[in-house]
Amino acid sequence: MAEIAVTAPLPGDALARLDGGHQVRVRASGPALGGRDMVEFVGAADALICLLADRVAAEVFALCPRLKVVANYAVGVNNVDLEAARTSGVWVTNTPDVLTDATADLAWALILAVARRVGEGDGLVRSGGFTGWKPDLLLGTSLQGKTLGIVGMGRIGAAVARRAVGFGMRIAYHGRAPRAVAGVEAEFVPDLDALLARADVLSLHCPLTPQTRRLIDERRLRLLPRGAIVVNTSRGEVVDEEALVRVLESGVLGGAGLDVYEREPEVHHGLLGRMDVVLLPHLGSGTREARAVMAELVVDNVLAVLAGKPPLTPAVKPLVPRS
């Protein structure tokens, strides 16, 4: 009988499918796990199901010799030491595809909210400040004909691009290689700086890796056209948050829409008081539908590995899988 350690309850009843034949340990929701606490929590488990804020470091693979799979309840796997997993013989799986539309929708919610001052408008009405229609009340910026710059044309970036067609935006993107997206005319810009110089709206969709950590730093933020909007639904560490605050304060940007933060769940105090930013609590994949299917996929991945088969959506394939 295999043992499965789960760091938090998941929505829906997917976890119940693990019960038959396996011993499942579900931790009550709580602060993210990491360090020695994670080693202790995994213990003699054969499989770990964890959340994106939990940290799975090399010591987990070294000290938990029965562990065969880390199934992350997220598409991003930056919280797992992937190289240590690979060399230790442990599969790491993620939840691609099933959250693509949800996340692309949320990126658009942020683009529209910042461009059309949705948060400010909502606040004005609630505070009793709406005294009647005015020609110049809370004017925003139109998106039609402007350029959407996408960094990372993976599944989510492509889904964001598809939505941009309906809003009449030009689309340019930067990534490792050009990629065709059906029904979308998008220009590949090999040089990130050149993309930034043109992006009226910048939307980030790259994974967090050593190469993308603080990719969007102060120098790059200052390349954006005047009035540009920065939207981040990827990982907070892709942007130098301190620099973003400075550049916003200097008044050259049109605003920012953020779903993720550098020191999540902590949010830079310089962002909290600003009316030109819209701040969400990491809701990218947060639809009931997406979160339920993510749970099913996590469970399918674990069951596959425990049955001696490759998982459905591996993020890391081990050198020699542990048996």
Tokens (6 digits) for 89? 């013989």
Residue range at the interface with ligand GLV (CB under 6 A); choices 80-88, 95-103, 174-182, 307-315: 95-103
Q: Which of 54, 21, 51, 29 is nearest to 40 (CA)?
A: 54
Residue 75 in the binding site for ligand GLV (CB under 6 A): yes
Residue 52 in the binding site for ligand GLV (CB under 6 A): yes
Residue 236 in the binding site for ligand GLV (CB under 6 A): no
Residue 96 in the binding site for ligand GLV (CB under 6 A): yes
Residue 212 in the binding site for ligand GLV (CB under 6 A): no
The residue from 76, 175, 255, 318 that contacts ligand GLV (CB under 6 A) is 76
Residue range at the interface with ligand GLV (CB under 6 A); choices 72-80, 133-141, 210-218, 309-317: 72-80
Is 86 one of the catalytic residues?
A: no
Distance in Å, CB of 287 to ligand GLV, minimum: 12
Is 179 one of the catalytic residues?
A: no
Count other Cβ atoms within 10 Å, centred on residue 190. 11
Phi and psi at residue 59, in whole multiples of 5°? Answer: -60, -30
Q: Which of 117, 174, 220, 235 is catalytic?
A: 235
Distance in Å, CB of 94 to ligand GLV, minimum: 7
**Is the Cβ of residue 284 or residue 318 nearer to ligand GLV in the bound state?**
284
Distance in Å, CB of 153 to ligand GLV, minimum: 8
Pick out residues in 274-293 that bind ligand GLV (CB under 6 A). 284-285
Distance in Å, CB of 96 to ligand GLV, minimum: 4
* CA pair distance 211, 238, nearest whole angstrom: 9
Distance in Å, CB of 100 to ligand GLV, minimum: 5
**Is the Cβ of residue 225 or residue 313 nearer to ligand GLV in the bound state?**
313
Distance in Å, CB of 50 to ligand GLV, minimum: 12
Is 185 one of the catalytic residues?
A: no
Residue least distant from ligand GLV (Cβ) = 154
The interface mask with ligand GLV, positions 169-198, x = CB under 6 A, is ------------------------------
Phi and psi at residue 86, in whole multiples of 5°? Answer: -60, -50
Pick out residues in 136-155 that bind ligand GLV (CB under 6 A). 154-155
**Start-to-end CA span in the chain (Å):** 14
Distance in Å, CB of 317 to ligand GLV, minimum: 17
Three-state SS letters, the chain: CEEEEECCCCCCCHHHHHCCCEEEEECCCCCCCCHHHHHHHHCCCCEEEECCCCCECHHHHHHCCCCCEEEECCCCCCCECHHHHHHHCCEEECCCCCCHHHHHHHHHHHHHHHHCCHHHHHHHHHCCCCCCCCCCCCCCCCCCCCEEEEECCCHHHHHHHHHHHHCCCEEEEECCCCCCCCCCCEEECCCHHHHHHHCCEEEECCCCCCCCCCCECHHHHCCCCCCCEEEECCCHHHECHHHHHHHHHCCCCCEEEECCCCECCECCHHHHCCCCEEECCCCCCCCHHHHHHHHHHHHHHHHHHHCCCCCCCEEECCCCCCC
Residue 74 in the binding site for ligand GLV (CB under 6 A): yes
The residue from 68, 205, 220, 268 that contacts ligand GLV (CB under 6 A) is 205
- Catalytic residue numbers, as ranges: 235, 264, 282
Give residues in contact with ligand GLV (CB under 6 A): 52, 74-76, 96, 99-100, 154-157, 205, 284-285
